[in-house]
Structure 1
Amino acid sequence: MEGDFIKINKWLLPLSWLYGLVVGIRNALFEMGILKSHAFDVPVISVGNITVGGTGKTPHVEYLIRLLQDRWQVAVLSRGYKRKTSGFLVADDSTNACDIGDEPFQMKKKFPKVTVAVDRKRVHGIEELTSSNNNLDVILLDDAFQHRYVKPGINILLVDYHRLIIYDKLLPAGRMREPLTGKNRADIVIVTKCPQDLRPMEFRVITKALDLYPYQHLFFTTLEYGTLSPVFKDMKPVKDSMELKDLKSLHCLLLSGIASPRQLIEDLKPHVAQLEPLSFADHHNFSAKDIALINDTFAALPSPKCIVTTEKDAARIVTLKGLSDDIKKNIYSLPVHISFMLNQEEKFNENIIGYVRKNSRNSILVKRKNDHQSQDCHHSGDRPRTISFRNN
């Protein structure tokens, strides 16, 4: 059921009140204009959440990339969490996960023609991207819902079905990074990781409970898993690829370093003979002790066996030293995609494509030219233009 992964530490609620006071003051400073939000002439779409932990940001950003990349020049700008570099950096063929972080590296590897950049200061990152590429059509901000220094044209808020924000509490008692009212900044709210057999009544209950404004669009998505591929392709893997159904007779070690592995664990259990989860913290840097634990855990599993990991973890695992050859021949990454429910995909796509089309640089140049001609003919005053999904 919805909210079933939530655990509230009630004894920490007084600290949550203090935390909420600080966050509330910060948000108020933005609302009053004391802290400035910057808008840009290029379409900017932000994808993020208001909770700690994974809500499926990367597969949703990848969905947007697939939707837009054949029509426009797309750039993805991320913070590059836990990378070993600093400042603004654009990924190229020599870039690795340590340079830009796990998720940006994963996206660059899967979409080599898309510009992937990292910068903790998103305003500076957007300025660098737009000044260096006049043909850039749209920028996707990864994990930036709370980065209020940028004013995106579309603000997408992701909400985990298993950790619905209506049932959660602020840090540190719960997992929320700002009060529930933060959802009001979203143009689009997506309830992610929904069970595929969700009943119509449950959709209605969640819709009513979220209590969104008329200008906000609500969508529901579920996770789908693709074909498993070898992490170490040069090690002559046991199989060149595998489907989930091929795991039925295997004893499987699930190796993950993600924020919320519980959903993945529950999804894989029905597909394997035995599942042994080995979970580390999100973006975990594996030590020699960790590698020894991985080797020993896999060696103890009965045959036939394999290791399954996430694409994000695979970006770091492929660089590890000390993994046994047996592991390298039997470890596979499992890609995750999203699928829209309630036949909502076309509506979502139209919203995104319509916004980008109306606000792309070419459209803006035409608008400015027409406005200039109209002003010359009618002597009208300057009319400010704001790129906004709500205005479109």
Structure 2
Amino acid sequence: MKLIRKILFPVVPFYYLVTWLRNICYDLGVKKSASYHFPVLCVGNLSVGGTGKTPMIEYLIKLLKDDFKVATLSRGYKRKTKGFKLADGNATAETIGDEPFQFYHKFGNDVWVAVDSDRRNGIKNLRHLKDKPEIILLDDAFQHRRVKAGFNILLTTYANPYYSDFVLPTGNLREPKSGAKRAHVVVVTKCPKHLKVSEKNSILNRIKAESYQHVFFSSIVYSNEVFSKDASKILETLTNFTLVTGIANAEPLVDFLNSKNLKFQHLNYNDHYQFSPQDILYLEKQSLIITTEKDYMRLRQHGQLNGKLFYLPITIVLDREHDFKKLIEQAVKH
């Protein structure tokens, strides 16, 4: 794959030009963006792959749901339905996508969870609900310029920051680095727990934030327990299990489990992997399966895995959390 990306390097200028021109058209008003008189917060990234959007959306839900009626709006990647879909008791990962289903599974009726590849249409349908949301959180919509969010949170990983990357197909950027200027907040995600001040300053110098932008650093915290449909287990008590991952980068999770001196075999699949009947037959033979919360949303529908399928939750910890919350409160008010 790396060789193919290097071979395709001559394509990079064309991709750069197309995406740059598209952004210029929106910036100049040639292409129209819809603005709204209520809070619309966008969480996204410049790159393909996992930067921690789902934990950030969950963080915002927890922060806002007690004071406001909150809705999440996602594309519903790899779902088997079309158009606008609102999560209800019949929702599955197949009907709304694994990440939105994770939101619904975790928060239930405390929030509206909707999917629509056309974010304008999704917002319109959400606002037509009888109990309409007061705040809408856009999941992975930084490049969806047809909607102008009132507040943009841009995520970039510590290991692969956008400022050291190229646009597709050689790199992972969906658009030029200049797109970061649309962000109100930049969060460097998946940082080591004890990131040195000197390293933070080095990253800040590379980001070169504008005067209106704020930069934060976050790290992942793994739970001490794994959970199934109706049971839980202490992580340190697990022996000889099978780790199943279908995420963009499983390395941090593997490193964490290794740090606990746990013994396991790792089945590593592509991001948003759709498990085949043959995969499920193989997993049935395993005595204990540990997976991510996102993968659990796709695997839990296979009843034959009940009793042996558990997921490991994660949360995020932000530096200067008080300042971050204050910015969100200001964004909601204005």
Could you say which TM-score interval applies, normalised by the shorter chain? over 0.9
Residue in 1 aligned with 2:129?
132
Partner of 2:151: 154
1:294 alignment partner, SS class: helix
- Counterpart of 1:19 (choices 15, 19, 35) is 15
Alpha-carbon distance in structure 2 between the residues aligned to 1:8 and 1:143: 27
Structure 1 residue aligned with 2:264: 275
Tell me which residue corresponds to 2:240: 251
Identity %: 42
1:266 aligns with 2:255: yes
Moved more, 223-232 or 197-206: 223-232
1:241 aligns with 2:217: no
Q: How does 1:74-93 map to 2 (within 5 A)?
A: 74-93=70-89
Structure 1, unaligned stretches of length 5 or more? 1-5, 234-239, 300-305, 360-392
Q: Which amino acid aligns with 2:289?
A: I
Cα shift readout 1:138-172 (whole Å, capped 9, x = no counterpart):
10001111111111111000001111111111111
Change in CA separation of 1:154 and 1:7 when aligned onto 2, cut-off 3 Å: farther
Q: Which has more radius of gyration?
A: 1
Q: Secondary structure at the match of 2:242?
A: strand
Could you tell which deviates more after superposition, 34-43 or 281-290? 281-290
| 1:230-379 equivalent positions in 2, closer than 5 A | 230-233=227-230, 240-247=231-238, 250-295=239-284, 298=286, 306-320=288-302, 323=305, 328-341=306-319, 344-356=320-332, 358-359=333-334
Decide whether the 8 Å contact of 1:255 with 1:278 is kept in 2: yes
Report the alpha carbon displacement of residue 322 of structure 1 after superposing the two structures with TM.
Answer: 5.5
> Structure 2 stretches of 5 or more lacking a match?
none
1:20-65: CA deviations, max 9, x gaps? 1111121121112121111011100000111110001000000000
Q: Which amino acid aligns with 1:253?
A: T
Say how many residue pairs are matched.
332
- Do structure 1's residue 114 and structure 2's residue 111 form an aligned pair? yes
RMSD over aligned Cα atoms: 1.9
Relative to the length of structure 2, the TM-score reads: 0.94
Matched, 1:104 2:100: yes
* Aligned residue type for 2:69: Q
Amino acid paired to 1:185: R
Q: State the alpha-carbon separation in 2 of the partners of residues 181 and 265 from structure 1.
A: 33
Letter in 2 for 1:256: T
Q: Which amino acid aligns with 1:13?
A: F
Structure 1 contact 257–281 (Cα < 8 Å) conserved? yes
Letter in 2 for 1:292: L
Query: Equivalents in 2 of 1:254, 1:138: separation in Å?
Result: 37
Deviation at 1:319, TM superposition (A): 1.2
Contact 2:226 2:290 in 1 (8 A): no
| TM-score, with length taken from structure 1 | 0.81
